[in-house]
Amino acid sequence: MTPLRCEHESDVSRAARTGFWPAALEHHAESCPVCFETRAVTVALLEDSSRMNAANRSPDAAHVWREARRRARLHLRSRAAFWFRALRALTCVYVPALLIWSFSHRALPAPVSWKPSFHADFASLLTGSAETFAVSGALLAALCIAMGSWYLLREARTPMQHSPSR
């Protein structure tokens, strides 16, 4: 009957993992059945482990970082595009409304001696609800432009290359 344990078992396993075999330990591993089996199992497990590591390589850290930066920039672009689409929708509402309003409120023909003055003529066109309508349209357009530009500026400041810390 062969013994189930040997006092040199852990030494044989360590030597198989490190590749450092003292001559006495190598001779013992060839003559002891427990240590011979320990050596064979350790070598087989190391080969399986190296095959699994080769098959399941983790991606390069630089590639992962670039992909994360690319996704962050795409996210910022989509946020900016939202505000510009909102501005386009507001334009589709306000321009036809302004045209309809201006055709329905035609001013009287100007006298020959008419001298344009921004304050007098433009203010006379915008009275009552039309003034509120025009100001709110301008404020909404300014908001959409500011928000979209803010996201675009953030995207422009997002670095694409990794700068190693020193």
Where exactly are the structural domains of the chain? 9-55, 61-157
* Mean pLDDT lowest among 29-33, 103-107, 119-123, 134-138: 119-123
Q: Which amino acid is at 74?
A: L
Instruction: Express as a percent the part of the chain with pLDDT over 70.
Output: 73
Question: How many CB atoms within 10 Å of residue 121?
Answer: 13
Average model confidence (pLDDT) across the chain: 76
Please give the model's pTM, rounded to 2 decimal places: 0.40
Q: pLDDT, tens digit, for every residue of 12-62?
A: 999 998 888 888 888 888 899 999 999 999 999 999 988 887 777 778 888
Q: What is the pLDDT of residue 1?
A: 44
3-state helix, strand, coil in the chain (%, to 5): 75, 0, 25
CA–CA separation, 129 and 117 (whole Å)? 22
Q: Apex CA 98: angle with CA 92 and CA 104, to 5°?
A: 135
Q: What is the pLDDT of residue 166?
A: 43
Q: What is the pLDDT of residue 15?
A: 92
Contact 80, 152 (CB under 8 A): yes
The DSSP output letter for 160 is S
